[in-house]
Amino acid sequence: MSEGAATSYPLSARNRVKRRHDRGFYDQATVHAVLDASMLCHVAYVVDGQPYCTPTFFWREGTTLYWHGSSASRMLESQAAGLKVCLTVAHLDSLVLARCGFNHSADYRAVMAFGTARLVTDGQQKERALVAMVDRFFPDRTAGLRASTAQEIKATSVIAMEIEQASAKIRAKGVADDEEDYELPIYAERIPVRTVLGAPEACPRLRNGVARPASLQGYSEGRLLEDALTGAQRHYSRQE
């Protein structure tokens, strides 16, 4: 797939990286890689001048982001025109301890995506989205589940947002001190930070003879969560 390899999101004051602009990226490949490595995002929206920042699960299909369960969905019911949103994903990669306070920092990858959120109300689109909500993370899982009831489908809000603009901000250089400070007898280091999967804990009420399906092999003990998610996204994109 050549998706986004050379395409960039349009740039304006809204998404231009302001502080440390040397860390800014706008190409779809970089932006999507940061997004696809996460399931957790933070969605900012405004109601009556008050900002809200809601953590929720999300997923990507092309240049559209989807999420659900946000309290923004109640607002959206009365706003057919949609709601301005900034959806942000951040990965903390390391803590950076430098030789002065000012150069203490972190390695990280973050994306801010801007657009207008709308409720997915079309029945067929919503049904497809509810499958994607599970299968994007856990390959082919929906096929083996108890089917959703009409009540469950009704009780789930799905929100969609076309990415109008986005920026990625990435730092990946560990300790970076002022040149003259390297001579000082001060300890400096980088501490890697990793988000990993623990050993899966089967439900204690599992029926006899029910085994873990092979489709979950990407979620194995000790694996990086982001590797499992990126792998699952590749699998899901191939099937679309």
55-74: which residues touch its own copies (CB under 8 A)? 55, 57, 69, 71, 74
Residues near its own copies (CB under 8 A), total: 95
Taking CB under 8 A as the binding criterion, the range among 3-11, 25-33, 59-67, 189-197 that sits at the site for its own copies is 189-197
Taking the complex as a whole, the smallest distance from the CB of residue 4 to its own copies amounts, in Å, to 22
Nearest alpha carbon to residue 130 among 142, 144, 118: 142
Taking CB under 8 A as the binding criterion, the range among 2-10, 24-32, 118-126, 191-199 that sits at the site for its own copies is 191-199
Tokens 């190409």 belong to residue: 27
Give the C-alpha separation, 57 to 68, whole Å: 7
Taking CB under 8 A as the binding criterion, the range among 2-10, 24-32, 203-211, 232-240 that sits at the site for its own copies is 203-211
Q: Does 196 bind its own copies (CB under 8 A)?
A: yes
Taking the complex as a whole, the smallest distance from the CB of residue 187 to its own copies amounts, in Å, to 5
Give the C-alpha separation, 30 to 8, whole Å: 9
Give the C-alpha separation, 99 to 107, whole Å: 16
Cα distances (angstroms) measured from residue 138 to each of 217, 220, 233: 10, 12, 9
Largest separation between any pair of C-alpha atoms in the chain:
68
Tokens of 63: 């240049």
Binding mask 208-237 toward its own copies (x if CB under 8 A, else -) reads: -xxxxx--x--x-----x------------
